[in-house]
Amino acid sequence: MNTDWNDLIQHYIAEQTSEEETRRLEAALKVDDALADLYLRHTELDVALEAEAASAEVMRELLTVPMVSWTRRGGHWLSWRPLTAAAAGIVFGMFCTSVVWAYAGNGRSWSLLRESFEGDGFRWQSGFPKQMGQWGGDEAKVVSIEAGVNPKDGARMLKLDPVKTDLSSRTHCIVDLQNQQKAFGSTTRQIELRASFHPSVLGKKDRYVLRAAAFADGPEKVEERWMKEMWGEIDEHALAYAARGVSVPAGTDGWQTITLMIDVPPGSRILVISMWAATMDGKPANRAAHYLDDVRLSGVINEPLP
C-alpha cells in the first residue's frame, strides 16, 4: 500500500484520521525511524506555532514585536521556547537574559541585505547555497506579475514552487558578517530579518516561517539539514539561532510581512537566513506555490531607554 505519510501525519495531528489510519500510523512509527523523525518535524513546528498564537494576547500587552532567539554563551545555551513560556504564564523576568525584543523608535540600524529579485544580477540556484551572498533551496524562479499577484517591491518576485516530498518550500541565503565586524564591535548585536509572502491560490490555510542562524565557520561547513530540521541539529552547530512562524487563515489576501530578530554574538562569520512557505494541505496535489519579495536584513543598535 502506497502511503502519503505527510498527508496522514497532518490529518493525525488535526485529529481527522480514521481508527484504521491511526493504527497504521502508530504501528509504523514504532519501527520506522525515518518516519518518526518526519512526524517529530511536523509536530514540533505545529506546537511552536500554536503556542505562539496562544500567547499572543499576553505578549501584545508586554511588547510590540515578539521574537524568540537562542544564544550560546560560555559553552552553554540560554534558551526560551514558546510552549515553555506559555505554560509559565509569560513571566517577564524569566526570559530577560535570553530573548531579544525589538523596541520601536528606540534604536538605529544599517542595511546588511535588501533583495527584491530585480535585475539580471540576481542569481538563484537549485539546492542549498555554499557561497557568500548566494541564494538557493527548493525549486523556485523569478517572475513578474502572475496569478493576479503584483510584486510587493519593484517589478519581480521569487516564486517558491510546491515540493512533492515535503510540506514546506524553502529558500536560503548566506550573508557575510565578517565585513560588519567593525560595526558590530566586540559585543552582541541584534539583526532584523524581514520578508513578505503571498500565496498564489487563495482559499487555503498557509504558514510562513523565518529562520536565522549565526555560525563561526564558513559557508562550506554549513549543512542544509541544520536549517531544515528542528531544534536538535542547529543547537549543536550554531552560535545563535532564531525562528518565527505565522499561520495565515484561508482566504487571506495581500502580502504578509514577517519580522524576526536574532541576537548575534561576536565571532559570527556568517548568517544563514531561511524562508519557508507551506500550504497546509497534506495532499501534494493540492499544495500551491507562494511568492517571496522584499527581503531585508538590518543590523540594529539599541539605544538605552530614557
The enclosing domain of 223 has a CATH number of: 2.60.120.260
Task: Examine residue 134 and state whether it is found in any structural domain, yes or no.
Answer: yes
Distance CA 57, CA 46 (A): 19
Mean pLDDT: which of 31-40, 94-103, 171-180, 296-305 is highest?
A: 171-180
Question: What's the pLDDT at 165?
Answer: 83
**Chain-wide mean pLDDT for the chain?**
76
Domain presence at residue 175: yes
CB-based contacts of 191, cutoff 8 Å, min separation 6: 112, 212, 261, 262, 264, 271, 297, 298, 299, 300
Q: Which of 288, 298, 292 is nearest to 256 (CA)?
A: 292
User: Mean pLDDT, to the nearest integer, of 222-251?
Assistant: 86
Contact (CB, 8 A) for 13 and 46: yes
Identify the pLDDT of residue 127.
94
223 HSE (CA, 13 A, CB side): 7
Tell me the backbone φ, ψ of residue 211, rounded to 5 degrees. -135, 150
Which pLDDT score, from 0 to 100, does residue 38 have? Answer: 74
For position 170, what pLDDT does the model report? 95
The predicted pLDDT at position 278 comes to 92
pLDDT of residue 108: 66
Q: Kindly tell me if the per-residue pLDDT of 160 is higher than 70.
A: yes
- The pLDDT value given to residue 82: 37
pLDDT surpasses 90 at 273: yes
Angle between helices 33-62 and 5-13 (to 10 degrees): 40
- pLDDT at residue 10 tops 50: yes
Cα 254 from Cα 150, distance rounded (Å): 10
Which H, E and C letters describe the chain, residue by residue?
CCCCHHHHHHHHHCCCCCHHHHHHHHHHHHHCHHHHHHHHHHHHHHHHHHHHHHHHHHHHHHCCECCEEEEEECCEEECCCHHHHHHHCCCHHHHCCCCCCECCCCEEEEEEEEECCCCCCCCEEEECCCCCCCEEECCEEEECCECCECCCCCCCEEEECCCCCCCEEEEEEEEECHHHHHHHCCCCEEEEEEEEEEECCCCCCEEEEEEEEEECCCHHHCCHHHHHCCHHHHHCCCCEEEEEEEEECCCCCCCEEEEEEEEECCCCCEEEEEEEEEECCCCHHHCCCEEEEEEEEEEEEECCCC
User: What does the pLDDT average to over 119-132?
Assistant: 88
**pLDDT value of residue 3:** 67
- Report if residue 36 sits inside a domain: no
- The residues that bridge with 142 in the sheet, in sequence order, are 158
For residues 232 and 235, give the distance between their C-alpha atoms in angstroms, rounded to a whole number. Answer: 5
In a domain, 298, yes or no: yes
**Once rounded to an integer, what is the mean pLDDT over residues 51-67?**
42
Classify residue 94: in a domain, yes or no: no
Q: What is the mean pLDDT of residues 238-266?
A: 91
Domain count, the chain: 1
Q: Which domain holds residue 153?
A: 107-302
Largest CA distance in the chain: 66
Q: How confident is the model at residue 148 (pLDDT cuts 50, 70, 90)?
A: very high
* pLDDT exceeds cutoff 50 at 233: yes
Q: Is residue 15 part of a domain?
A: no
Which residue is associated with the grid cell 523596541?
Answer: 103
pLDDT at 30: 73
Contact call for residues 225 and 295 (beta carbons, < 8 A):
no
Residue 30 vs residue 69, higher pLDDT: 30
Answer yes or no: is 86 within a domain.
no
Asked if residue 91 is part of any domain, the answer here is no
Cα separation, 68 vs 82, whole angstroms: 8
Average pLDDT of the residues in 108-114: 84
